[in-house]
Amino acid sequence: MLVYLDNNATTRVDLSVVEAMLPYFTDQFGNASSAHAFGSTVAEGVRAARRQLQALLGAASDSEIVFTSGGTEADNTALLSALETAPEGRSEIITSAVEHPAILSVLEHLEATRAIVVHRIGVDRRGRLDRAAYAAALSKRTALVSIMWANNETGTLFPVAELAEMAHVAGALFHTDAVQAVGKVAIALKTTQIDMLSLSGHKLHGPKGVGALYVRKGTPFAPLVRGGPQERRRRGGTENVPGIIGLGAAAALALAGMEDMAGRLRALRDRLEARLLALAPDALVLGDGTWRLPNTCDIAFSHLEGEAILHNLDKAGIAASLGSACSSGSMEPSHVLKAMQVPPSALRGAIRFSLSRETTSADIDRVLAVMPDILAKLRATVPA
Measured from each CB, the residue nearest to ligand PLP is 71
Q: Which residues are catalytic?
A: 326
- Interacting residue with ligand PLP among 325, 328, 338, 370 (CB under 6 A): 325
Q: Which is nearer to ligand PLP, 72 or 219 (CB)?
A: 72
Please tell me the distance from the alpha carbon of residue 369 to that of residue 361, in angstroms, as a whole number.
Answer: 12
For position 322 contacting ligand PLP by CB under 6 A, the verdict is: no
Non-local (6+) Cβ contacts of 208 within 8 A are 10, 70, 201, 202
For position 323 contacting ligand PLP by CB under 6 A, the verdict is: no
Classify burial at 286, counting beta carbons within 10 Å of its beta carbon; exposed 0-12, middle 13-18, buried 19 or more: buried
Non-local (6+) Cβ contacts of 349 within 8 A are 283, 300, 301, 302, 303, 304, 305, 306, 309
Amino acid present at 326: C
By CB under 6 A, the count of residues binding ligand PLP is 14
What residues from 190 to 229 belong to the interface with ligand PLP (CB under 6 A)?
A: 200, 211
- Interacting residue with ligand PLP among 148, 244, 261, 320 (CB under 6 A): 148
Instruction: Express the helix, strand and coil content of the chain in percent, nearest 5 each.
Output: 45, 15, 40
For position 156 contacting ligand PLP by CB under 6 A, the verdict is: no
Q: Which is nearer to ligand PLP, 11 or 359 (CB)?
A: 11
For position 97 contacting ligand PLP by CB under 6 A, the verdict is: no
**Least distance to ligand PLP from the beta carbon of 89, Å?**
30
For position 359 contacting ligand PLP by CB under 6 A, the verdict is: no
**Least distance to ligand PLP from the beta carbon of 208, Å?**
7
- Helix then strand count (H, E) for the chain reads 13, 12
Closest CA to 354 of 11, 2, 72: 11
Give the alpha-carbon dihedral of 361, 365, 366, 372, to 10 degrees. Answer: 160
For position 100 contacting ligand PLP by CB under 6 A, the verdict is: yes
Which residues sit at the interface with ligand PLP, rule CB under 6 A?
70-72, 75, 100, 102, 148, 152, 177, 179-180, 200, 211, 325
